Amino acid sequence: MSVGDETDQANFVADDVLGRREGGVPLRAQAVLFRSSIHSARLELELARRDIPFVKYGGLRFLEAAHVKDVLCVLRWAENPRGRAAGFRALCLLPGVGPATAARVLDAVDGSADPVAALRGLARPRAAAEDWERLTGLLAALRGTGPGWPAEVDLITRWYEPHLQRLYDDAPARQSDLAQLRQIASTYPSRERFLTEVTLDPPEVTSAEAGAPLRDEDYLVLSTIHSAKGQEWRSVHVLNVVDGCIPSDLGTGTTEELEEERRLLYVAMTRARDHLQLLVPQRFFVSQQSGQGDRHVYASRSRFVPDAVTTHFEVCAWPAAASGLEPPVPPAGPAVDLKARIRALWRRRRSQPEECRCGPRAACRTLRAPYQILRIIGIM
């Protein structure tokens, strides 16, 4: 299944999953598989937006990752400076600021008409003097005449980067999640709309003790391919079956690594009992660009699915073209005799004086270049 980009991929999977459930296939009999946990981020947001229940195996849900919550809490605090949960988490990111200091700051902000001004007027924690200035400056930019949406997410991630490096040993790996978050935010028209649709679970949901298994509930299964070994579902969607994802960029160094990647795709395809969809996005957008930016790279179908085997698949695209409708035919314009126009141009060039700035006519680049072009296209 060919789709335009990752957004189309998420929309198609959500539509297809719901359609199959209406056709009698429960959500628990369907699965979405992917090579890396980050590949499901956009799909998770789409499922949450449509209230489609799901569980994820092989990595945290995208919105449950601590570093993603850190960035979103700052955005939520800027939207509502009197929100204690978001403000508490944002303040505790600063070195030297603990729960008692954070609670005191939030009490002062809660009783002020101008929360940002109240923050600037408070005594700065000694261990976080510079970081305090950066945080108050960030909030002032987000609530004032800042860069606007969605550049606000870029502003927060740049502020958060030193804290990410300080708090997490695997900071480089987590930065890819923040790049994905920036790209997802750029698809929403405003900060309010983004925060409304991207709902965060309460803190106790991600770290509480195991509860009832909820065996009677229906939910879609999201899983990395590694975690899907030994499982089977009636319907399976495999995301990002393109070079760079399957096989991974880091898995093509040796023949053994490449064969392991091939086995992973084989495992994913053989998890399906009745229906199998291999999703191939045509393009991936480049991160760190403006909200209206359209810089992207094109992807090619995985080398493990060459043209020789596509005859065994039903090759289709989504969204499908409307059936029975002919493409619009543009109105015919006036006929242009291109050959006559080029010959006339050549004659005008030939009528130039014997000498020009380039030197003698025989060596004149102004005359030689058009003549060579005419010879190439077969007119002269």
On the question of pLDDT at 296 being above 90, the answer is no
Are 154 and 182 within 8 A, CB to CB? yes
Expressed as residue numbers, the domain containing 21 is 2-53+217-318
Measured distance CA(39)–CA(367) in Å, rounded: 56
The reply to whether 20 and 147 lie within a common domain is no
| CATH number (domain holding residue 78) | 1.10.486
Shared domain check, 74 and 48: no
Q: Is the pLDDT reported for residue 369 higher than 60? A: no
The whole-angstrom separation of Cα 311 and Cα 179 is 37
Specify the number of domains making up the chain.
Answer: 3
pLDDT in tens, 204-262: 344 344 444 455 578 898 988 888 888 899 999 999 888 888 887 776 678 888 888 88
Mean pLDDT of the chain: 77
Task: Give the position of tokens 């990111």.
Answer: 93
Q: Are residues 164 and 197 in the same domain?
A: yes
| 170 domain residue, yes or no | yes
Domain membership flag for residue 68: yes
The pLDDT of 292-307, averaged and rounded, is 76
Q: What pLDDT sits at residue 233? A: 92
Domain annotation covers residue 279: yes
Q: Are 200 and 274 in a shared domain?
A: no
Least confident of 145-149, 208-212, 255-259, 355-359: 208-212
Of 147, 178, 205, the domain-final residue: 205
Q: What's the predicted TM-score (pTM) here?
A: 0.56
Greater model confidence, 131 or 212: 131
Instruction: Count other C-beta atoms under 10 Å from residue 155's C-beta.
Output: 19
Q: DSSP of 339-375, one letter per residue?
A: HHHHHHHHHHHHTS-SEETTEEGGG-HHHHHHHHHHH
Which residue matches tokens 């030939």?
350
Classify residue 363 by burial, with Cβ atoms within 10 Å: 0-12, 13-18, 19+: exposed
Q: What pLDDT sits at residue 211?
A: 45
Kindly state whether residues 78 and 196 are assigned to the same domain. Answer: yes
Q: Are residues 200 and 226 in the same domain?
A: no
Pairing outcome for strands 359-360 and 272-278: unpaired
Q: Are residues 78 and 186 in the same domain?
A: yes
Shared domain for 369 and 346, answered yes or no, is: yes
Query: Considering the domain boundaries, does residue 178 fall inside one?
Result: yes
Same domain, 83 and 195: yes
> Is 59 part of any domain?
no
Which of 82, 59, 92, 44 minimizes the C-alpha distance to 201?
A: 44
Contact 140, 116 (CB under 8 A): yes
Task: Give the whole-number percent of the chain exceeding pLDDT 70.
Answer: 76
Residue 181 has pLDDT above 50, yes or no: yes
Residue 356 falls within a domain, yes or no?
Answer: yes
Least confident of 147-151, 244-248, 283-287, 323-327: 323-327
More confident residue, 92 or 248: 92
Judge if 10 and 121 occupy the same domain: no
Dump pLDDT digits (tens) for 250-293: 766 788 888 888 888 899 999 999 999 999 888 876 565 555 55
49 and 68 in a single domain? The answer is no
Residues 100 and 223 in one domain: no
